[in-house]
């Protein structure tokens, strides 16, 4: 599928993706990159994916799979290409990217750092996985079983809404030499 964009718009959007990847300075997931780009420019999801594919084909960015996510990173050639086309990005887009970038990136990283899901193993047997990631690296993961779908969903919902409280308590319990745990 080829896009029905004019050449200037194609170059602007690809340059914007390179610009944002350069500002990030580290690998980022497809979901996080899409969220960042759409806070700057109202880009269609399918166009965004096509632009990424084009940038991968030209070796301006690399993509690799990490778990369930595709991760993107700017290459040396991509940096050089950005230096050549940076001036083609409209000033208002650069302004939006520069002024809202750090706050939006922090929000997106925090959103994406807490994950949980459950999978059925049988009629009344579910595996629940809760995870914390930071900079695309797993820093904590726990797996448990639930005896009903409702119980599994309760664990997932509780983790998603309270991981910032649960995680430190688990670490405290694990690091406690006193086996009389009352709380």
Q: Answer whether residue 183 shows pLDDT above 60.
A: no
What was the pLDDT predicted at 111? 61
Q: Which of 97, 112, 127 is the last residue of a domain?
A: 112
Q: What average pLDDT score do residues 121-135 get?
A: 88
One domain, residues 105 and 125: no
Q: What is the pLDDT of residue 88?
A: 87
How confident is the model over 103-114, as a mean pLDDT?
70
| Residue 47 within a domain | yes
In a domain, 128, yes or no: yes
Q: In 3D, which of 146, 183, 177 has the Cα closest to residue 165?
A: 183
pLDDT (0 to 100) of residue 3 = 47
Instruction: Kindly tell me if the per-residue pLDDT of 1 is higher than 60.
Output: no
Which long-range contacts does 120-129 make (Cβ < 8 Å, 24+ apart)? 120/149, 121/145, 124/148, 126/151, 126/152, 128/152, 128/155, 128/156
Claim to verify: residue 93 and residue 133 sit in the same structural domain: no
Range of the domain at 164: 113-175
Domain end call among 75, 95, 112: 112
pLDDT for res 14: 93
For residue 133, the model assigns a pLDDT of: 83
Q: How confident is the model over 86-106, as pLDDT tens digits?
A: 888 888 888 888 877 777 777
* Model pLDDT, residue 147: 94
């Amino acid at each position: 599928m080829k896009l029905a964009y004019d050449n200037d718009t194609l170059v602007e959007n690809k340059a914007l993706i390179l610009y944002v990847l350069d500002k990030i300075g580290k690998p980022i997931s497809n979901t996080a990159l899409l969220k960042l780009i759409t806070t700057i420019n109202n880009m269609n999801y399918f166009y965004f994916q096509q632009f990424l594919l084009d940038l991968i084909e030209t070796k301006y960015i690399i993509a690799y799979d990490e778990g369930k996510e595709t991760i993107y990173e700017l290459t040396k050639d991509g940096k050089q290409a950005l230096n050549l086309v940076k001036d083609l990005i409209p000033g208002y887009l650069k302004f939006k990217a520069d002024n809202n970038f750090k706050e939006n990136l922090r929000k997106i990283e925090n959103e994406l750092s807490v994950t949980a899901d459950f999978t059925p193993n049988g009629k009344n047997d579910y595996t629940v996985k809760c995870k914390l990631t930071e900079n695309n690296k797993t820093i904590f993961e726990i797996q448990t079983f639930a005896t009903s779908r409702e119980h599994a969903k309760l664990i997932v919902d509780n983790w998603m809404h309270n991981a910032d409280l649960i995680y430190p308590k688990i670490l405290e319990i694990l690091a406690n030499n006193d086996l009389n745990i009352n709380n």
